[in-house]
Structure 1
Amino acid sequence: MQTHNGNYQSILVLILFVSSFSATAQDLLRSSCSHARYPALCIKTLSPYATGSATPMDLAQAAVRVSLARSRSLSTYVTTLQSQMQQQAPPSTDRAALKDCVLQIADSVDELTRTLTELKNMRVGTASFQWHLSNARTWTSTSLTNCYSCISGFGGRDGKVGLDVKQRVNSVGMLTSNALYLITRIGGDDNGVGGGN
């Protein structure tokens, strides 16, 4: 019976430890996302990455990865759409806007890729930390600008292509906006920045 009670206590301690770890991770996630431009989206997309050992740096990197994945998907979509529209006759009024959009989203993908690399090279307390942080913020901001430049190219037209592209780009823009906020947040004195991959 004593052995049984001992096992029970060990399991209980383990459960409490894991629960505490989980609560700490969720607290970090909520505090990190609470002032993001799209807090509910921030929490939803980053919940899988809020592990017990997660740091603000880990969440920032995860946010960039999510945005980058969606941006790559968007780039593939608009490139395919452009190819289809080039075969249409007469030319669509959205063709020129879509051509520009393809280039802008491709640039956006490149900038987010550079951002992720920069975040991986950042180490808190080093002389180069602020330089890497500034680069990451600049590239993410430029990526966001490119997203919305793509949208503005369609103007006020309400065609199916324009509306579909705008919806998809807005979705990516929201993720990138949250990523930019989380990157900015790790520059604080109490950021608890860790390594991350």
Structure 2
Amino acid sequence: MGSTFFLLTLLVLLSSSAAVESKPGASSDLVRSSCVHASYPTLCFRLSSYSGPANTPRDLAQAAVKVSMSRARWVSTFLTTRVTGKSKRERVALSDCVDQMSESMEELSKTLRELKHLRGETFGFQMSNALTWASAALTNEDTCLDGFQGVDGNVK
């Protein structure tokens, strides 16, 4: 969940910044300065190793979306393997969560496509779309967690 919050933070930063020219060392400086302000800075730094070089806020936002998609895919796969031997209530919660993760991946995929094709004349509209889709992905993750309220056992 922290990675998606980090993603939203990056998208907000991107939406308020103009195109930034790349400078030597800018990649690590950009990641460092962005992670310092994240809600989970340690997680941000740890996940940033998956991003590759990020020389602009756009690069960093795209990397964050890719990491979030990867984590959602991992969670979905992990939960699918946990259904065996669970109560009906636990199986339903797990199945619903897998569905929510799938929807999150779709929303994040739309976000990434939008970020890859930003244009000056439609930048505001495109960023609004990207923020909406990323927010929907975060909502899906929260809905997944909500499905486990009242579930006993070790599924939580």
TM class, shorter-length: 0.7 to 0.9
Number of the residue aligned with 1:94: 90
Number of the residue aligned with 1:71: 72
Does the aligned pair in 2 maintain the 1:29–1:50 contact within 8 Å?
Answer: no
Q: Structure 1's 68 and 49: CA in aligned 2 closer, same or farther, altered over 3 A?
A: closer
Equivalent positions of 1:163-174 (< 5 A) are 163=156
**Counterpart Cα distance in 2 of 1:28 and 1:108:** 26
**Counterpart Cα distance in 1 of 2:152 and 2:65:** 31
Greater RCO structure (CA 8 Å; 6+ sep): 1
TM norm structure 1: 0.61
CA shift for structure 1 position 136? 0.7
Higher Rg: 1
CA shift for structure 1 position 95? 1.9
CA shift for structure 1 position 31? 1.5
Number of the residue aligned with 1:119: 115
Match for 2:136: what amino acid? T
Q: Deviations over 1:100-147 (max 9, x none)?
A: 212111111111111111110113xx2111111111111111101111
RMSD, matched Cα: 2.1
Aligned residues: 134
CA shift for structure 1 position 80? 3.5
**Counterpart Cα distance in 1 of 2:62 and 2:27:** 16
Number of the residue aligned with 2:61: 60
**Counterpart Cα distance in 1 of 2:51 and 2:143:** 30
List alignment gaps of at least 5 residues for structure 1: 1-19, 164-197
Q: Structure 1's 49 and 99: CA in aligned 2 closer, same or farther, altered over 3 A?
A: closer
Number of the residue aligned with 2:3: none
Q: Structure 1's 137 and 115: CA in aligned 2 closer, same or farther, altered over 3 A?
A: same
TM norm structure 2: 0.75
> Which protein is richer in helix relative to its size?
1
Does the aligned pair in 2 maintain the 1:29–1:47 contact within 8 Å?
Answer: no
CA shift for structure 1 position 93? 2.9
